[in-house]
Amino acid sequence: LETLTEIVKQIACEKGASLVGIADISQLVGPVCSDPTYLLPETKSVVVFAININHEIIRNYLSKKSFASKDAMSRHEGEIYHSLWQIGMEISKYLEKYGYKAINAWPNKDYREHKSGSDKSNPFGFTPEFSHRYAAVAAGLGSFGWSSNVVTKEYGATVYFSSVLTSASLRPDSPLTINPCDNCKLCAYACQSEFIQKDADLISFTLGNSVFSHGKTQHVGRCSLCCGGWVNQYQHQEWSTFSSICVDFTFPADSDEFRTKFREMVVKDLKGSDSRAKRNILHHIKLGNRGMHETELDEYEVVCGYCQLICFKDREDRVLNLKMLRSSGVVTEDGDYEYIIRDGSIVDKRKWRV
Ligand code: B12
Ligand code: SF4
Ligand code: SF4
């Protein structure tokens, strides 16, 4: 058990993981997608690992240095997702060689509604087959931050996670006793869509033997529309996301109304003239339900993610990150071109990426 645990952790680190931990099945009793037996009924342990995001790439992106800094961020995200998948493959192969069952869970876009076909038409059906956040928290890699991102001691929230579920009994790690999130709430100030709010109630839930909490988030459609590139400004006008589109969309509180309004917007934009919004929809249709690890590196397009990216481990760095974002200017479009405008001047200009 000791040796197998050490070898599995070593494989993860050698293949590029920045953090790795083991969650015991007994710690994964809680919200529905914390349950690994949905994917592998024989699960005894979950190996969960993280790769950190490069801080220089983040800061160039937050400050909208140029369109090249957006492309660098997008490609970097793609490379991390591809690496996470490869690390999972190596660990699974090793465990299988010794007779254990192992499932390399998709790092992202493993939505049950789409993969099982239970509610394919729901644009906001985001129940993961398995949640890497709960696994990471159960294995002590981090804890839930106000933003509901998992915040680690080493890198704040600037990590992506993935997991391998296995029938092997590995030596488990313990959940953290101190939460690295200090409740600065700068994540809420960095969120255009108000998916994360600074004055929200806390939502608490039990995972294994511990109770965790984070800020209550609003309808997931808010983040999807902003992070998906449709809405580049909502609550802050002095800066925008890295998308050049801002469709006219006021977020309804009611879930059914949200879906209806979203469908109406898609239909209207698809029928309309060749607009940037239409291209955005076609881009998402092309991505389809492929996992992030199956997405080509040049198909990635990061436009927000700010709640995660500003959350470095030290508060002074977070304050500086938010400052950079707030003074980064606005991205806008005109004809076939998009522009970064800062302090009234054009900082960069390029043809839309199709
Ligand atoms: C679905 C999803 C989304 C959705 C929903 C996010 C959310 N907060 O759940 C959307 C599209 C909005 C989204 C956005 C983003 N995501 Co995302 N996403 C996922 C995905 C697929 C699952 C998220 C998850 O674990 N949800 C489960 C929990 C947290 O939510 P829940 O099911 O709603 O459960 C809550 C409540 O419903 C309630 N509850 C549940 N059951 C029950 C039952 C009862 C009885 C009661 C009372 C309550 C209750 O308690 C739960 C805890 O709050 C994961 C990949 C994966 N497979 O893990 C990535 C993941 C979470 N995303 C990630 C990231 C980075 C982002 C973004 C920054 C965008 C980006 N650049 O990628 C934003 C951040 C938004 C945010 N602050 O959360 C990372 C997070 C990294 C980190 N450090 O935490 C992940 C882990 C991807 C990865 N491989 O690294 N994401
Ligand atoms: S930005 Fe501050 S409040 Fe938000 S998750 Fe990070 S540490 Fe917590
Ligand atoms: S990714 Fe952007 S829109 Fe989504 S919650 Fe984070 S800051 Fe808000």
Q: What is the pLDDT of residues 274-320, one digit of tens each?
A: 678 888 999 999 999 999 999 999 999 999 999 999 999 999 999 99
Model confidence at 232, pLDDT cuts 50, 70, 90, reads very high
Beta-sheet strands, E only, within 113-183: 143-144, 150-151, 159-166
Residue with structure tokens 């029938």? Answer: 167
User: Average pLDDT of 145-173?
Assistant: 98
* Region of residue 101 (left: phi > 0; alpha: psi -120 to 50; beta: else): beta
Smallest CA-to-CA distance from 78 within 108, 103, 47 is with 108
Q: Which atom of ligand 2 is nearest to the CA of 196?
A: 4
Report the pLDDT value the prediction gives residue 1, as an integer from 0 to 100: 67
Hey, whose CA ends up nearest to atom 8 of ligand 3? 191
The number of the ligand nearest the C-alpha atom of 313 reads 2
Is there an atom of ligand 1 within 6 Å of 305 CB?
A: yes
User: Average pLDDT of 79-83?
Assistant: 98
Q: Which atom of ligand 2 is nearest to the CA of 185?
A: 3
Q: Which atom of ligand 1 is nearest to the CA of 302?
A: 71
Q: Which residues contact 323 (CB under 8 A, 6 or more apart)?
A: none
Contact criterion met (CB below 8 Å) for 349 and 337: yes
Confidence check: pLDDT of 26 > 90: yes
Which residues, judged by CB distance below 6 Å to any ligand atom, belong to the binding site of ligand 3? 190-193, 195-196, 223, 226-227, 304-307
Q: Which atom of ligand 3 is nearest to the CA of 190?
A: 7
Report the pLDDT value the prediction gives residue 123, as an integer from 0 to 100: 86
pLDDT tens per residue, range 178-199? 999 999 999 999 999 999 999 9
Question: What's the gap in Å between 6 CA and the centre of ligand 3?
Answer: 36
The number of the ligand nearest the C-alpha atom of 51 reads 1
Pick from 47-51, 120-124, 157-161: least confident = 120-124
DSSP letter assigned to residue 26: G
Hey, whose CA ends up nearest to atom 14 of ligand 1? 223
The two tokens of residue 206 are 């039990």
Fill in the amino acid letter for 249.
Answer: F
Q: Which of 183, 310, 317 to mutate to test the pocket of ligand 2 (most atoms within 8 A of CB)?
A: 183
Which contiguous run of DSSP H or E holds residue 85?
helix 67-97
Report the pLDDT value the prediction gives residue 338, as an integer from 0 to 100: 95
Distance CA 89, CA 87 (A): 5
Report the pLDDT value the prediction gives residue 157, as an integer from 0 to 100: 99
pLDDT tens per residue, range 84-142? 999 999 999 999 999 999 999 999 999 999 888 888 888 898 999 999 999 999 999 99
Smallest CA-to-CA distance from 199 within 208, 189, 209 is with 189
The number of the ligand nearest the C-alpha atom of 153 reads 2
Report the pLDDT value the prediction gives residue 118, as an integer from 0 to 100: 86
